[in-house]
Structure 1
Amino acid sequence: MPPRRTRLRRAADAMSDNIEEDDASRREDEDAVVDEEEEEEEQVRRPKTRKGKAGKQRALEPLSDAGEDEVVPDNSEPVNEETFGNKPLDRNEGQKIQGMASDWNAMDGNLRAGAFTLLSEVASAVAEYGEGEETEKLHKLDVLMKEIVDIDVEILSHEKVLKQLHQQVVSGEQISDIVDRYEKNVQAELNSYENKTSRQKYAKHDKYASFKQSIYEVQHPDEAMPPVIEFIPKEDGDNSDDDDDDIQVGGVLQDLKCPITLTLLVNPLTAGPCGHSFSAEAITQMLGPNRATKKTCPAAGCNRMICLNDCKPDKDLERKVKAYDRRARRREDEMEAEEIIE
């Protein structure tokens, strides 16, 4: 496996190349979407720092040498001999390990909020405005998305191992080989992942499923997407056990209409307890002014109790609604143009 920093930089550069190629072929009504994509790409290239408990800015150590165009503070604390040494760790060192795990978690959050969303939106635009070249471009984007998934798994492996080490330290276990144990356990996680087939790696990944969904809903409007596993060729090592229900991501047609107004969602809010989404004004009126008062979810067949505090803005869903509405208007315009020609 190539070093993580190199892979992350290569993936970011590839995203930029795909976006630049696609921008030249988009129509004027895509300008607003492109602006959002460029802003989100910038967030991926320059991940934010976060404040620790002591109020100081903690750098995301994994990006300390990601590129010359990134300004990264030099106060990061990697897991190495100088930081910990080969000596038993006390609870103070345990807190350091927990902080490092939080940094990896923050980095993964940036990746999910930036790169994954950006690639899905670019793929949707390519599928819609590919001008006959969408097949090749979508293949390149699919390869790139899988690289980003690999990076996501790698980041989560570091976080997982650090959390495990933290638990061992705070429970009183004497650890004198922290560096070796950290590196060995991370490598074991990555080796396990590398030994999986493509179906085992990507079919269950929620962001890869969203990526495929963004393409399918453009190419097959008003059709439910089949399980993601059907888009990934079978390899040696795949068997019938991989085709069970827990890997069948897909097959669901997302309803973009509000259960209350029965029209397209406007400023959608999604309820945490049940996952149903509503137009902001409609659900606010239904639940009443007290944000903590719970009522039965108005979605058909749902008995969960929700309140306004449970309902959060859903920007991803809002983008999907706008894209769906734009495509519907485009189809109407094309149909009207055909009628005039006839």
Structure 2
Amino acid sequence: MSLSSVQSTLSTLKSCQTDVGGCMDMVSDVALGIVEAQGTADCPALNKLEEMMLECSRLDIEINCFVESVDEMTAQVRHEPPDAMVKLKDSVRNRYNELMAGVSDVDLQRHSKVVAFKDSVSKFYNQASQTPTENAEDLDEDIAVTQSQTNFICPLTQVEMVNPVRNKKCQHYYDQEAVLEMIQRRHRNKKKFRCPKVGCGNTDVQQSDLELDLVMRRMIQNQKRQSGKS
């Protein structure tokens, strides 16, 4: 076994991890569809989807622990004699078991996409179940807030977003494809990417700052459907 083959295997594993994240987004999107169709945030189907999210959470954590154990152990043997590689497999296994022993059910629940799943379901249900019982003053205020928050136009492309992502630092939205392309282009030129929203002081937007907003995406999709009917 060579270090190059180990790194190649890790690269493949990390690609699988990306697929796991995409699967979790799909499960969350299905959950929002159930809330929209059934008008409830508490049903057996949603509970089953939450179980699926937790299973994906465990898989994602397992991959992280394995990658971490491999990185740690290969770093130790990198400058040692070649015969040290013989013990690499056992060393990685032992370190992996140590890391996984510290993983609890609470850690699964704290996975960012599991948290986002629950928040999205709750947020979407609350929006869908709102009734026009507020007085006119409150309603006008709600409309103003909604209009200020629900801007479907990407500040980069100036067209309606397809996959809106929210910047966790400044709370602004961009289309996923456009912002990732811009970040990568700026980084290739050794430059930082500044939030394009007028007046925003966020001068260094990182890919890790962005999270897909499934509720916003469904709102955009619903608006398109409504526009098609009218």
Normalising by the residue count of structure 1, what TM-score does the alignment of the two structures yield? 0.45
Aligned to 1:277: 173
Matched, 1:302 2:200: yes
What is the CA–CA distance in structure 2 between the aligned matches of 1:273 and 1:217, rounded to whole Å?
Answer: 17
List aligned pairs for 1:1-342, cutoff 5 A. 84=1, 93-113=2-22, 115-130=23-38, 134-172=42-80, 174-193=84-103, 196=104, 198-203=105-110, 205-221=111-127, 255-257=149-151, 258=153, 265-267=160-162, 276-278=172-174, 297-299=195-197, 302-305=200-203, 316-317=212-213, 320-325=215-220
Equivalent AA in structure 2 for residue 106 of structure 1: S
Relative to structure 1, the CA distance from residue 123 to residue 301 in structure 2 (aligned partners, 3 Å threshold; closer, same or farther) is same
What is the CA–CA distance in structure 1 between the aligned matches of 2:109 and 2:45, rounded to whole Å?
Answer: 19
Equivalent AA in structure 2 for residue 185 of structure 1: R
Which structure ranks higher in relative contact order (CA pairs < 8 Å, sequence separation ≥ 6)? 2
Q: RMSD of the alignment, in Å? A: 4.4
Indicate the percent of aligned positions where both proteins have the same amino acid: 16
Q: Give, in angstroms, the shift of residue 272 of structure 1.
A: 8.1
What is the CA–CA distance in structure 2 between the aligned matches of 1:274 and 1:133, rounded to whole Å?
Answer: 28
What is the CA–CA distance in structure 1 between the aligned matches of 2:165 and 2:42, rounded to whole Å?
Answer: 32
Q: Give, in angstroms, the shift of residue 213 of structure 1.
A: 2.4
- Asked if 1 retains the 8 angstrom alpha-carbon contact of 2:161 and 2:175, the reply is yes
Relative to structure 1, the CA distance from residue 109 to residue 220 in structure 2 (aligned partners, 3 Å threshold; closer, same or farther) is same
Equivalent AA in structure 2 for residue 323 of structure 1: R
Q: Give, in angstroms, the shift of residue 296 of structure 1.
A: 5.9
- Asked if 2 retains the 8 angstrom alpha-carbon contact of 1:256 and 1:264, the reply is no
Aligned to 1:25: none
Relative to structure 1, the CA distance from residue 154 to residue 278 in structure 2 (aligned partners, 3 Å threshold; closer, same or farther) is closer
What is the CA–CA distance in structure 1 between the aligned matches of 2:45 and 2:164, rounded to whole Å?
Answer: 33
Relative to structure 1, the CA distance from residue 330 to residue 105 in structure 2 (aligned partners, 3 Å threshold; closer, same or farther) is closer
Task: State how many pairs are aligned.
Answer: 191
Listed one character per residue, the Cα deviations across residues 226-271 of structure 1 (whole Å, up to 9, x for unaligned) are: xxxxxxxxxxxxxxxxxxxxxxxxxxxxx4425869x995346769
Equivalent AA in structure 2 for residue 191 of structure 1: A
Aligned to 1:75: none
What is the CA–CA distance in structure 1 between the aligned matches of 2:107 and 2:193, rounded to whole Å?
Answer: 40
Q: Give, in angstroms, the shift of residue 105 of structure 1.
A: 1.0
Aligned to 1:244: none
Q: Give, in angstroms, the shift of residue 143 of structure 1.
A: 1.5
Relative to structure 1, the CA distance from residue 190 to residue 270 in structure 2 (aligned partners, 3 Å threshold; closer, same or farther) is closer
Unaligned stretches of 5+ residues in structure 2: 130-148
Unaligned stretches of 5+ residues in structure 1: 1-83, 85-92, 224-254, 332-342
- Asked if 2 retains the 8 angstrom alpha-carbon contact of 1:102 and 1:159, the reply is no
Relative to structure 1, the CA distance from residue 294 to residue 94 in structure 2 (aligned partners, 3 Å threshold; closer, same or farther) is closer
What is the CA–CA distance in structure 2 between the aligned matches of 1:165 and 1:215, rounded to whole Å?
Answer: 41
- Asked if 2 retains the 8 angstrom alpha-carbon contact of 1:266 and 1:279, the reply is yes
- Asked if 1 retains the 8 angstrom alpha-carbon contact of 2:165 and 2:211, the reply is no
- Asked if 2 retains the 8 angstrom alpha-carbon contact of 1:268 and 1:277, the reply is no
